[in-house]
Chain A
Amino acid sequence: MSSEITTGAGHTQPDVERLHVAGLHAPSDAVLSVRDLNVRFNTENGVVHAVRGVDFDLLPGKTLGIVGESGSGKSVTSLAIMGLLPSTAEVSGSVMLKGRELLGLSDRAMCEYRGNELAMVFQDPLSSLTPVYTVGAQILEALTIHNPTMSRQAKEARAVELLAMVGIPSPKERLKAFPHEFSGGMRQRVMIAIAIANNPRVLIADEPTTALDVTIQAQVLEVLHTAQEETGAAVVMITHDLGVVAGMADDIMVMYAGKPVETGAVDDIYYNPRMPYTMGLLGAVPRVDVAEKSSLVPIEGMPPNLIHAPTGCSFAPRCPLASDACLAGEPALAPVPGSALHRAACIKSGSLGGDVDVHDVFAAPPVPVSRFDAVPREKRSTVLQLKDVRKHFPLTRGALLKRRIGTVKAVDGLSFDIREGECFSIVGESGSGKTTTLLEIMEFHKDQDGEVLIGGISNKQANDSRTKSAMRRELQMVFQDPTGALDPRFTVYEVLAEPLQNAGMDRQAIKARIMELMKLVGLQPDHVNRFPNQFSGGQRQRIGIARALAVNPKLVVLDEPVSALDVSVQAGVINLLDKLRAELGLSYLLVAHDLSVVRHISNRVAVMYLGKIVEIGEVDRVFDNPRHPYTRALLSAIPVPDPELERTRERIILQGDLPSPLDAPKGCNFATRCPVFAALPPLKQEKCLTLEPPLEPVAPSAAAQALAAHPLPAPDQRFACFFPDGEIDEDMLVVHEQADHHAP
């Protein structure tokens, strides 16, 4: 591992230099110093070198963002620092916490630091708390371990204080609650409370918001921010989402194949990336705040297998700029010309920079144009129409004699239509009824409440299986989890042949069609005899898309098609969907929680809340000029990969979780969490609570009306709110001032 030694040795110099330049700290000021950290796992296939020479210094009160895709070694790095790796892992290098070496300490010796000066928040809040103990007991335990002499009253008082700090209402009563009585967001707050219980100096957060809804993500990020302010801890924030760290981090470390490939201040990384991988990652993420349509940057290929030591740059096989020089030895992390703080592991970093367009480097495909784009929407035919579709679930009690104690209105009076060649998206938090809507469409039964028209066939006529199978040829589905959606014992050929056989095609035609499909979705036709497990996640999703397209449907229902994929792979699948829509004239019904993806790919969007559409319209209109307070909150909750913007952006933080559909108020569903409602005078509040706002079009402003010669057509945007122009309650509005973040 000669490359590592050079990395390790050549490292001290720029580091001292860097701190010297900063003029603020001597190296000993760092609370956490990691040097040449290496982690190897012995597996059946050989030694996996998961982390290969990570160095960083973390200064008190600062935040370091570690960014990378799955398998890049970021989580292993954090677990190695915590000493929580399984005993089979070989860890070498140095981890110094306030000048004391942590590596090599026994489990017992590490316990003095863990949970005390060094704390961690994990990814999945649902499984990270012990289900059989109360939340209070689990917080108290963290206090007891490190303060054995503390009295019970003092510990309980501290626990209440902690729960209040992380924003849990009525903390004293909630101490006695069990984890299952909390929602995911609330549990993550408890996890943060446990982590900061002993005022840690270093707080490691490993993907703390990945499992949460955007509105809850915004809340939890806010709590982390508060926690950092209260404790003055340095934070290591591990994430794959470049948006999440943009507003929080001071420094960024980008990891690839177990190695840091670019490090520097947050602005350097986002505005002036010098490593093609970083550039690719930034270009691969769609942005929720940009209307301009350009293709995303896909990074082809897969990360290397870390069983074999790379001989050249580990990114070279996927890098469009790779040359022979890149294959000779792994490049060390070296300062970028002109900036000592910014380092990149690329021999070409000098020629890259902020002015190089990533779309040129990665040869992003041109924006596909559909033949329908030129036709006005009203003149295209309708492929799917929903008229007042409802799905109510009775809530019953009792074992033998069931009593109805309420109704869950999962979908409550949904009407919309999808025209040819258009992508229509439904967005909303989990529990808003998105999936139930899809299920209702797929159900297609005449006893349904409401009418579903697919390609002119109504569910009210769906009496026989013939009508149903005619409907299935019009509409196909792509599922969220590409691995679970494919039978592991079917070859790709069998997966694709099944719908064609059902359609009654003969063998020759099926074979030809499958070859055509493979090419269409960008897979090699000679891979048809492979099994799904021989493909990567992105390729499996392509197989899922090919299967859906096999029978030439007009409408494809996409249920979270890219949420299980890494960003670089996600970009490729999104580009493919875009291309197919244009080339084949498909329509999409997309359900996604990632609003950036929705904005990138859709033409129209509907925002759902508790089973109802609260705002619907053309995607750019809704996203640029949201009228409903919920849409506004949802949009403001999404982090944008732009540090400057993130720091100054106003953010609406909704309070609490999605209420149980049982407690839905009589008037506007959203009133309980509405930031506008909270600031309204009581008289107007009364209106929100008693009357249900109808879905009404946006009236063109009087001034615009006067200027125009003809009466303007109403824009394609409707919303359900009485007071769209109301002030937003100040308690729910958060702005992170720049000064706030860069204070020493």
Chain B
Amino acid sequence: MLRYLAKRGITYIFMIFLTTSAGYFLAVSSLKPALLEQERIPRPTPEQVANSMRLKGLDPDLSPWERYVEWLTAIVTRWDWGRSPNGAYINAEFGDRVWISTRLFLASIILTLVIGVALGVYSAARQYKFQDRAITSYSYLAYIVPAPIAYFLVQLGAISINETVGERIFFVTGISTPGIQPGWAQFVDMLAHYAVPTVAITLVGWGSYQIAQRQYLLDNVNADFVRTARAKGLTRNQAISRHALRVSFIPVAQSIAFTIPAIFAGGFFAEKIFAWPGVGSWSIDAISLQDVNAATATLAYGSVIFALGAILADFATTLVDPRVRVQ
């Protein structure tokens, strides 16, 4: 297994290198931060702009290939991903933002999974009954409503709760209140900030797991091996929970492993709407601010996370399905 993981790891590192390099060339040839500098008031001279860019390692006069070599050398030798046009260091900015994204999404991912799979099982066991119809209709609704709209609705809900109570219980945006006392007050403040985005992301997210789990379980409920289990003396529900559930979880486990990284790297709607400056919003900002190094760094991060997800999916599959062999 370890050898297999190592082999896959090497393949992915190679692929990450390729995508990142290609991304860098694309960014360096299309993003021109110098042009934005020109719009400053008072307008700097082109020489001033070029000079300030050169100081930040973003010399517009060098050819893309020369800049690529410079950029790559800095990463390989010093693990330095360069600077933004505003002078910020990518490395420092990146650490903060990954941490913010992780905090924003971790709780909702776990809740999404648990609730989605549990509701999938519950609705499959009650196929075509009222509960099943209600839950599954909701899931399809959550599927088709654009995420930003759902987030806004949850925010409005939180605001109306605040208004009804007459006191500000939930914060609908932001990470924390600046200057709060450490200790209990800080903890309550954190919960008040966490509640709205977590609820919003979970409400939107669980639908897909519910639909998938319900479908895969229903495919297995009438399987021959469930009938065998019943013929052994298990009741129908016991047979389903002991035999059909694990088999139906195999494809779900794989999809879970793939969606986790997608959320980490790409939740920019949530980050923007709830004003949590994470990796997702950074990647969009980088493009609008003509930030070559930041755009490439978020791309690299996305590829790494995706590779991890793929390895995780393989790992999850071998874990739940004994038929899969690792060579």
List A residues at the B interface (Cβ < 8 Å): 82, 84, 107-108, 111-116, 119-120, 122, 124, 127-134, 141-142, 145-146, 178, 180, 191, 194-195, 397
Contact A142 B225 (CB under 8 A): no
Contact B246 A115 (CB under 8 A): no
Contact B232 A114 (CB under 8 A): yes
The smallest C-beta distance from B247 to any residue of chain A, in angstroms, reads: 6
Q: Which residues of B contact A114 (CB under 8 A)?
A: 230-233
Q: Which residues of A contact B228 (CB under 8 A)?
A: 122, 128-130, 191, 194
Q: Which residue of A lies closest to B230 (CB)?
A: A84
Q: Which residues of A contact B320 (CB under 8 A)?
A: 132
Dominant SS among interface residues on chain B: helix
| Chain B 229-251: CB-based contact to A (< 8 A → 1; otherwise 0) | 11111111000001100110010
- Shortest Cβ-Cβ A-B pairs, 5 listed: A115-B233, A115-B232, A127-B224, A145-B233, A130-B225
Contact B233 A142 (CB under 8 A): yes
Q: Which of A112, A115, A134 lies in contact with B231, CB distance below 8 A?
A: A115
B202-227 residues at the A interface, CB under 8 angstroms:
223-225, 227
Q: Which residues of A contact B40 (CB under 8 A)?
A: none
Q: Does B323 lie at the interface of the complex (its beta carbon under 8 Å from any beta carbon of A)?
A: yes
Q: Which residues of B contact A134 (CB under 8 A)?
A: 322
Q: Which residues of B contact A142 (CB under 8 A)?
A: 232-233
5 contacts between A and B (CB under 8 A): A122-B228, A129-B228, A130-B246, A131-B321, A145-B232
CA distance A141 to B231 in the complex (A): 12
Q: Which residue of B lies closest to A139 (CB)?
A: B232
Q: Which residue of B lies closest to A178 (CB)?
A: B322
B146-203 residues at the A interface, CB under 8 angstroms:
none
CA distance A146 to B233 in the complex (A): 8
Q: Which residue of B lies closest to A124 (CB)?
A: B224
Q: How large is the interface on B (under 10, 10 to 19, 20 to 34, 35 or more residues)?
A: 20 to 34
Q: Which residues of A contact B242 (CB under 8 A)?
A: 141
The smallest C-beta distance from A402 to any residue of chain B, in angstroms, reads: 12
Count how many pairs of residues, one from A and one from B, have CB atoms less than 8 Å apart in the complex: 76
Contact A130 B323 (CB under 8 A): no
Q: Does B63 lie at the interface of the complex (its beta carbon under 8 Å from any beta carbon of A)?
A: no
CA distance A111 to B235 in the complex (A): 6
Contact A111 B234 (CB under 8 A): yes
The smallest C-beta distance from B248 to any residue of chain A, in angstroms, reads: 10
Q: Does B77 lie at the interface of the complex (its beta carbon under 8 Å from any beta carbon of A)?
A: no
Q: Does B45 lie at the interface of the complex (its beta carbon under 8 Å from any beta carbon of A)?
A: no
Q: Which residues of A contact B227 (CB under 8 A)?
A: 84, 122, 128
Q: Which residue of A lies closest to B226 (CB)?
A: A130
Q: Which residues of B contact A84 (CB under 8 A)?
A: 227, 230-231
The smallest C-beta distance from B66 to any residue of chain A, in angstroms, reads: 33
List B residues at the A interface (Cβ < 8 Å): 223-225, 227-236, 242-243, 246-247, 250, 320-323, 327
Q: Which of A178, A194, A397 lies in contact with B232, CB distance below 8 A?
A: A194
Q: Which residue of B lies closest to A129 (CB)?
A: B225
Interface centre among B225, B232, B247 (most CB of A within 10 A): B232
Other than A107-B235, A180-B323, give 13 A-B pairs with Cβ distance below 8 A: A82-B231, A84-B227, A111-B233, A116-B233, A119-B231, A132-B247, A132-B250, A132-B321, A132-B323, A145-B232, A178-B322, A195-B231, A397-B327
Contact B231 A130 (CB under 8 A): no
The smallest C-beta distance from A357 to any residue of chain B, in angstroms, reads: 42
CA distance A146 to B246 in the complex (A): 23
Q: Which residues of A contact B229 (CB under 8 A)?
A: 130, 141
The smallest C-beta distance from B245 to any residue of chain A, in angstroms, reads: 10
The smallest C-beta distance from A201 to any residue of chain B, in angstroms, reads: 14
Contact A108 B247 (CB under 8 A): no
CA distance A356 to B278 in the complex (A): 90
CA distance A131 to B247 in the complex (A): 8
Q: Which residue of B lies closest to A125 (CB)?
A: B224
Contact B322 A132 (CB under 8 A): yes
Q: Which residues of A contact B321 (CB under 8 A)?
A: 131-132
Q: Which residue of A lies closest to B233 (CB)?
A: A115
Q: Which residues of B contact A191 (CB under 8 A)?
A: 228
Q: Which residues of A contact B230 (CB under 8 A)?
A: 84, 114
Q: Which residues of B contact A108 (CB under 8 A)?
A: 235
Q: Which residue of B lies closest to A197 (CB)?
A: B232
Q: Which residues of A contact B327 (CB under 8 A)?
A: 397
Contact B323 A131 (CB under 8 A): yes
The smallest C-beta distance from B189 to any residue of chain A, in angstroms, reads: 46
CA distance A228 to B230 in the complex (A): 22
CA distance A115 to B228 in the complex (A): 9
The smallest C-beta distance from B276 to any residue of chain A, in angstroms, reads: 40
Q: Which residue of A lies closest to B247 (CB)?
A: A132
The smallest C-beta distance from A707 to any residue of chain B, in angstroms, reads: 60
Q: Which of A82, A122, A130 lies in contact with B247, CB distance below 8 A?
A: A130
Q: Which residue of A lies closest to B231 (CB)?
A: A120
CA distance A134 to B236 in the complex (A): 21
CA distance A107 to B229 in the complex (A): 13
CA distance A622 to B217 in the complex (A): 51
CA distance A131 to B246 in the complex (A): 10
The smallest C-beta distance from B135 to any residue of chain A, in angstroms, reads: 21
Q: Which residue of B lies closest to A107 (CB)?
A: B235
Q: Which residues of A contact B231 (CB under 8 A)?
A: 82, 84, 114-115, 119-120, 122, 195
Q: Which residue of B lies closest to A127 (CB)?
A: B224
Q: Which residue of A lies closest to B322 (CB)?
A: A178
Q: Which residue of A lies closest to B245 (CB)?
A: A132
Contact A127 B234 (CB under 8 A): no
Q: Which residues of A contact B236 (CB under 8 A)?
A: 107
Q: Which residues of A contact B246 (CB under 8 A)?
A: 130, 132-133
Q: Which residue of B lies closest to A195 (CB)?
A: B231
The smallest C-beta distance from B319 to any residue of chain A, in angstroms, reads: 11
Contact B232 A128 (CB under 8 A): no
CA distance A132 to B228 in the complex (A): 14
The smallest C-beta distance from A138 to any residue of chain B, in angstroms, reads: 8
Given contacts A132-B246, A141-B232, A142-B233, contact A127 B225 (CB under 8 A): yes
Q: Which residue of A lies closest to B220 (CB)?
A: A130
CA distance A180 to B322 in the complex (A): 9
Q: Which residues of A contact B232 (CB under 8 A)?
A: 114-115, 141-142, 145, 194
CA distance A107 to B235 in the complex (A): 6
CA distance A90 to B230 in the complex (A): 19
CA distance A82 to B228 in the complex (A): 11
Q: Which residue of A lies closest to B327 (CB)?
A: A397
Contact B225 A128 (CB under 8 A): yes
Q: Which residue of B lies closest to A142 (CB)?
A: B232
The smallest C-beta distance from B258 to any residue of chain A, in angstroms, reads: 20
Contact A127 B322 (CB under 8 A): no
CA distance A111 to B234 in the complex (A): 6
Q: Which residue of A lies closest to B250 (CB)?
A: A132
Q: Which residues of B contact A111 (CB under 8 A)?
A: 233-235
Given contacts A130-B243, A132-B247, contact A145 B223 (CB under 8 A): no
CA distance A146 to B234 in the complex (A): 10
Contact B233 A122 (CB under 8 A): no
CA distance A303 to B204 in the complex (A): 53
The smallest C-beta distance from A32 to any residue of chain B, in angstroms, reads: 15
Q: Which residues of B contact A397 (CB under 8 A)?
A: 327
Q: Which residues of B contact A130 (CB under 8 A)?
A: 225, 228-229, 243, 246-247
The smallest C-beta distance from A625 to any residue of chain B, in angstroms, reads: 42
The smallest C-beta distance from B316 to any residue of chain A, in angstroms, reads: 13
CA distance A411 to B116 in the complex (A): 51
Q: Which residues of A contact B235 (CB under 8 A)?
A: 107-108, 111
Q: Which residues of B contact A133 (CB under 8 A)?
A: 243, 246
Contact A145 B243 (CB under 8 A): no
CA distance A111 to B239 in the complex (A): 11
